[in-house]
Chain A
Amino acid sequence: MTVTGRGDDADTVTTLTEDYRKREESITISSQPAGVDETHELLTLNIGPHHPATHGVLRLLTTLEGEVVRDIKPIIGYVHTGIEKTAEDKAYWKVIPVVERMDYLAYYFNAMAFCGAVETLLGLEIPPRAQYLRVIHLELNRINSHLLWLGTSALDLGAISMFWYCFREREKILDLFEMSSGQRFHTRYIQVGGVMEDIPAGFEAKVRAFLKDMPNRADQYADLLEKNQIVVERLRGTGIVDRETMIKLGVTGPLLRATGEPWDLRKAHPYSSYDHFDFKIPVGTVGDNYDRYRVRHAEFYESVKIIEQALDGLPEGPHITTDRKVALPPRHELATSMEALIHHFKLVTEGFRVPPGEAYYPIEGPRGELGCFVRSDGSAKPARVHMRDPSFVNLQALAPMVRDGYIADLIATLAMLDPILGGIDR
């Protein structure tokens, strides 16, 4: 809407929002009425940084006209921890645990992107078994991340029971992670050259039991949500952004696929043997919140299919590269081989050196393209590590999604955007 500006430049026509923005240049909450008359009064509402519906420490400066959101300005940086800077001060293999903490729900993906970039620089071949083990854990992590998203998003819509059901399944995945790596979060399982350890006896059976269970559980979630008129009415037709806008904004992942664009790096540019598996890319039609929910929900089934195939076809062989310059020698060799002892000592003290160069390694994370840029100067520490975190880029799509919608839809849209503030702020 346009209004005529007041005062001396009464000729200039500005939008109500622009007029208001000028009054609000420093970020302060102003109670000054703006616009032409009382019926067009705008209000700035500060949401967050500590608000249960912002899914993290996110501050949203919303400009409201009545109940309608006219503009929104996300303010981030509250959990900035300087991980990219920290990484420059650590040997390559010691960077893995810190980058895992960026997007804290997708820790396998962060480690995969970083290790992939380093492996590219090293020109390292990854043994097939390691690639399959990576895929199994990445897809379990994807289900895990989507489960947390579904549980908390449903919570925002008032469906509290969904939260418990999703966390019940998530707990099983965390148990599996604990079984294979010893940790539930930030497992440090993916290493440069492969994975930390082979899966233990009994792991496969437990994963298969979970895979048998998971599709039924996903069906139950669908029954609970999609047959609930409140949920459907709040999601359908809200937060629509078309495909072209999304692409211009650099949005990737389920948000882009919900607009009908079948862009998935696992298919488009397969890495880590993803081309061995048969799976589909779920896409939406109109790109509203309901499509975003449906796309992620459908990915539960596809991830289950991928893990099943990876378990069926799990190749024999080493779980990590046998290049002793990069990967630690097995423990038992240290007692008998001087060579192994030297390698072990070199790796633990200095780490391995990476030839100079730059690499950008993109993978398909649960939220979109997770790309890791690594620059090496030939030393044992990276000269630059940068994560192109999908949440950071996708957050820019929040304004076009919520503009001119109701503030109640803002909460639902933000939940369907699935931002992880650890990844945004890094």
Chain B
Amino acid sequence: MPDATELELTAQELRDAHRDSILDTEYHRDRACLVADPRQIKPILEHLVDKGYTMLASLHGVDYYPHEPRLGVLYEMLDRRRVDRISVKARLHTDDPHIDSVVDMFPGADFPEREVYDMFGVVFDGHPDLRRILMPEDYEGFPQRRDFPVGGEPVLFTFNEEQNYGKYV
């Protein structure tokens, strides 16, 4: 993990290269996190790849309800040479959340981006095949959002399947 100083240096380097690309930095329990401008996510990740963080270890979504902007997409970047990790966080509003897809940079981001779309409704612009991945294709709603109720969905039987979520039209 980079220490707090190195994180700030990286953030400044990114700000110099791309104006207003880094909105904030977080350093907590040895975890370094850059809060990125979602519109500039690709140049930021490209810069980090050039710095040696070549592998996208994980990509996942978070709902920060009740804080705004509510949604977050997290990129856990890994430098295998120095065994170093840095995470990049992009916050998005729930009304029309859009962010650039990074599948062209990391083909392995395909399934994780589809999962974030499926669970949080974040639209990844430029994703080759953005469909639901875990939930049924005709499902309505984004179940991992914090305001989506657990158990709020009635059990489907033959007699009520037409009135419920994910109904077949």
- Could you list which residues of chain A lie within 8 angstroms of chain B, going by C-beta atoms? 76-77, 80, 82, 84-86, 88-89, 120-121, 123, 245, 247-251, 263, 268-269, 357-360, 362, 369, 371, 373, 375, 383-384, 386, 388, 392-393, 395-396, 425-426
Instruction: Answer yes or no: B52 CB below 8 A from chain A CBs.
Output: no
Known contacts A85-B143, A89-B150, A373-B60; A360/B76 CB under 8 A: yes
Chain B hits for A250, CB < 8 A: 55-57, 106, 108-109
Give the B interface residue count (CB, 8 A).
40
Known contacts A268-B83, A362-B57; A396/B29 CB under 8 A: no
Show 22 A/B contacts (Cβ-Cβ < 8 Å), sorted by A.
A77-B132, A82-B143, A84-B119, A84-B144, A85-B143, A121-B29, A247-B54, A247-B55, A248-B107, A249-B107, A250-B56, A250-B106, A357-B31, A369-B57, A375-B62, A383-B62, A388-B57, A388-B60, A392-B115, A393-B108, A395-B111, A396-B108
Stretch at the interface among B14-22, B40-48, B90-98, B133-141: B133-141
The docked-state distance in angstroms from the alpha carbon of A48 to that of B41 is 38
The docked-state distance in angstroms from the alpha carbon of A375 to that of B64 is 9
Q: A120-B31, A123-B29, A249-B107 are in contact. List 12 more A-B contacts (CB 8 A).
A: A84-B119, A85-B144, A85-B150, A86-B150, A357-B31, A369-B57, A369-B58, A371-B58, A384-B62, A386-B62, A388-B76, A392-B111
Q: How far is the CB of A75 from chain B (nearest CB, A)?
A: 9
A359: contacting residue among B29, B55, B62, B107, CB under 8 A: B29
Chain B hits for A360, CB < 8 A: 31, 58, 76, 85, 87
Q: Are B76 and A371 in contact (CB under 8 A)?
A: yes
Chain B hits for A89, CB < 8 A: 150
Closest to A249 in B: B108
Q: Mark B140-168, 1 if CB is under 8 A from A, else 0.
A: 00011010101000000000000000000
Closest to A250 in B: B108
B134: contacting residue among A358, A373, A386, A425, CB under 8 A: A425
Contact residues of A: prevailing secondary structure? mixed
Closest to A121 in B: B29
Chain B hits for A396, CB < 8 A: 107-108, 110-111
Chain B hits for A88, CB < 8 A: 146, 150
Known contacts A248-B106, A384-B63, A386-B60; A77/B134 CB under 8 A: yes
Closest to B66 in A: A377
A80: contacting residue among B28, B60, B135, CB under 8 A: B135
The docked-state distance in angstroms from the alpha carbon of A140 to that of B110 is 33
The docked-state distance in angstroms from the alpha carbon of A248 to that of B49 is 12
Q: Are A248 and B87 in contact (CB under 8 A)?
A: no
The docked-state distance in angstroms from the alpha carbon of A247 to that of B79 is 12
A76: contacting residue among B107, B112, B134, B144, CB under 8 A: B134
Instruction: Answer yes or no: B80 CB below 8 A from chain A CBs.
Output: yes
Instruction: Answer yes or no: B34 CB below 8 A from chain A CBs.
Output: no
